[in-house]
Amino acid sequence: MEFDLDEAQRELRSLAADLLGREAAPQRLEAFEKAGAAYDPAIWKALAQAGLLGVVVPERQDGAGLGPVELTVLLREIGAHVAPVPAYATLALAALPIALTGTDAQKELLAGVASGETVLTGAYREVGPSGTVETTARCGRLTGVKTYVPYADEASHLLVPARTDDGTIQVHVVERSEVAVVPQPSATSEPLSRVELDGARGTPLGAGGWDAFRRSAVTGAVALSSGVIEGALGLTTEYVKTREQFDRALAQFQAVTMQIGDVYIAKRALDVAVWAGAWRFATGADDTDEVLAIAAYNASDPVVKALYTCQHLHGGIGLDVTYPLHRYFAWAKQAGHLLGGAEDQLDTLGALVAAQEVQ
């Protein structure tokens, strides 16, 4: 069985990497951060013109109609270049779940995604462990509070999971005007919000909507984290090759090479789980949730610790906000928060394994 990317997926990766290498250069990112905008419209427009924003949008809505593996390819490159655009919110938290389980009318909401005209998002987190759903749905009305919702103010619609009276979780498509949005602190330039639902109206996705939504949310977050550690490792490797101490490059010191090796191991462990999880999500494998939980654990703990090592190897410059490394660290921390942290993921994995044992 072949698990490598196929030719079309490799071309997608190359296109995204080349475009973001130009459009998300460090000087551009510095200028964006000083502007204080929610996201960089020039990068967003460039992604749309290259056809990249339509990667998971159905062909009837002018997209490519691809799936989780291709979404992972794109988001991984966005993470590697820490490109400040609402791609995770729009594609992973909304477009892919709608494409997989939405009604025909709901899929029409995706018509402006490929062109970059439409921003969407989803409310994956509540107070408590990741995957918690205490928001209720009664008679088409939603009540509850969601947290850490990216680009809620900029989105035209949100996907909102809610629990019905019989305990079933449905994911509702809700217009932005139906909810109250309160800004929350963010580790990055990405806007996060607390979303209050007080009788908001929504229309549920079709069968399998909750599975598609939560799997897409986790797949997208770990893909970003995988790209982030890739970019940070590349930056750190170049630094230790050229930075000299006692007339020797840092890379020539055994202690430094061992620490770089630890970062590489953390990166590879996450990479393996990310691609395995994306492939299982795409094929509907029975162990999809277990593998994604492993990826989420690696993104929440070993990779964050690896970013500390990257900062340590840079010395004082690693903490300087005028140096690019701080962006990677902030992105990794935020992905870990969105996923709920390492202990949440270990609890999730334990519960999934225990459920399999019972069966």
In tens digits, the chain (359 residues) has pLDDT values of 456 899 999 999 999 999 999 999 999 999 999 998 999 999 999 999 999 999 999 999 999 999 999 999 999 999 999 999 999 999 999 999 999 999 999 999 999 999 999 999 999 999 988 888 999 999 889 999 999 999 999 999 999 999 999 999 999 999 999 999 999 999 898 999 999 999 999 999 999 999 999 999 999 999 999 999 999 999 999 999 988 788 788 888 899 999 999 999 999 999 999 999 999 999 999 999 999 999 999 999 999 999 999 999 998 888 888 899 999 999 999 999 999 999 999 999 999 888 877 66
**For position 359, what pLDDT does the model report?**
61
Q: Which residues contact 304 (CB under 8 A, 6 or more apart)?
A: 332, 333, 336
Domain made up of 210-358: CATH architecture: Up-down Bundle (1.20)
pLDDT of residue 251: 82
Q: Are both 121-206 and 210-358 of the same fold?
A: no
Q: 224 burial class (0-12, 13-18, 19+ CB within 10 angstroms)?
A: buried
Superfamily of domain 121-206 in the CATH hierarchy: Butyryl-CoA Dehydrogenase, subunit A, domain 2 (2.40.110.10)
* Spatial CB neighbours of 246, under 8 Å, sequence gap ≥ 6: none
Q: Which long-range contacts (CB under 8 A, 24 or more apart) does 257-263 make?
A: 259/309, 259/312, 259/313, 260/233, 260/236, 260/313, 262/306, 262/309, 263/229, 263/232, 263/233, 263/236, 263/306, 263/309, 263/310
CA distance 145 to 345: 22
CATH number for 7-117: choose from 3.40.630.10, 3.40.50.720, 1.10.540.10, 1.10.260.40. Answer: 1.10.540.10
Q: Are 94 and 56 in contact (CB under 8 A)?
A: no
* Predicted TM-score (pTM) of this structure: 0.95
Residue 321 pLDDT = 84
The domain locations on the chain are 7-117, 121-206, 210-358
If we measure between CA atoms, which residue out of 65, 124, 74 comes closest to residue 95? Answer: 65
Of the candidates 127, 111, 113, 112, the one whose C-alpha atom is nearest the C-alpha of residue 53 is 113
pLDDT at 69 (0 to 100): 97
Of 303, 134, 158, whose CA–CA distance to 217 is shortest?
A: 158
Q: In this predicted structure, what is the pLDDT of residue 283? A: 96
